């Protein structure tokens, strides 16, 4: 049951960021162009599994895009706000379909599969 709630949480984040992005009025082309950029963090796995997990998790935790949202609003940086919403949408999308934060043992072991 906890796993279902984690997937619903991801879906809520994804849909919520889509809503706020649409209200903000940024380009949907920008959204599509940058939606998969956080997956570039997988290149850490070329070094080793532990480093891959660390770099991947840094790109897929809610912390950094939320801090970026706050700082972009405070500094009135519209482009950074757009990027941070896209980043947050990516994480929510990933969590919805079952991709979670990685354990150092293997790319396929995530916090969503351990629940």
Residue 83 lies in a domain: yes
Residue 13 lies in a domain: yes
Please give the residue that has the higher pLDDT: either 6 or 35: 35
Interior/surface letters 97-106, b for 16+ CB within 10 angstroms, e for the rest: eebbbbbeee
pLDDT in tens, 48-83: 999 999 999 999 999 999 999 999 999 999 999 999
What is the number of structural domains in the chain? 1
Residue 71 lies in a domain: yes
pLDDT in tens, 99-112: 888 888 877 777 77
**Whether pLDDT at 94 is above 90:** yes
Residue 52 lies in a domain: yes
Residue 35 lies in a domain: yes
| 31, 81 contact by CB (below 8 A) | no
Residue 115 lies in a domain: no
- Taking the C-alpha atoms of residue 88 and residue 64, their distance in angstroms, rounded to an integer, is 9
pLDDT in tens, 27-43: 999 999 999 999 999 99
Q: How many CB atoms lie within 10 A of CB 70?
A: 12
- Taking the C-alpha atoms of residue 92 and residue 99, their distance in angstroms, rounded to an integer, is 9
Residue 43 to residues 2, 23, 27, 40, 79, Cα–Cα distance (Å): 30, 33, 28, 6, 25
pLDDT of 102: 87
Residue 28 lies in a domain: yes
pLDDT of 1: 65
- Taking the C-alpha atoms of residue 55 and residue 63, their distance in angstroms, rounded to an integer, is 14
* Phi-psi category of residue 100: left, alpha or beta, with phi > 0 → left and psi -120 to 50 → alpha: beta
Domain span at residue 51 reads: 2-110
pLDDT of 106: 77
Residue 22 lies in a domain: yes
């Amino acid at each position: 049951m906890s796993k279902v709630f984690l997937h619903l949480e991801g879906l809520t984040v994804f849909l919520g960021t889509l809503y706020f992005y649409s209200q903000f009025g940024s380009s949907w082309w920008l959204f599509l162009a940058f939606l998969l950029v956080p997956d570039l963090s997988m290149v850490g796995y070329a070094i080793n599994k532990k480093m891959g997990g660390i770099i991947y998790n840094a790109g897929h935790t809610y912390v950094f895009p939320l801090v970026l949202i706050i700082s972009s609003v405070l500094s009135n940086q519209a482009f950074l706000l757009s990027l941070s919403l896209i980043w947050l949408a990516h994480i929510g999308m990933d969590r919805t379909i079952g991709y979670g934060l990685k354990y150092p043992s293997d790319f396929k072991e995530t916090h969503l599969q351990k629940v």
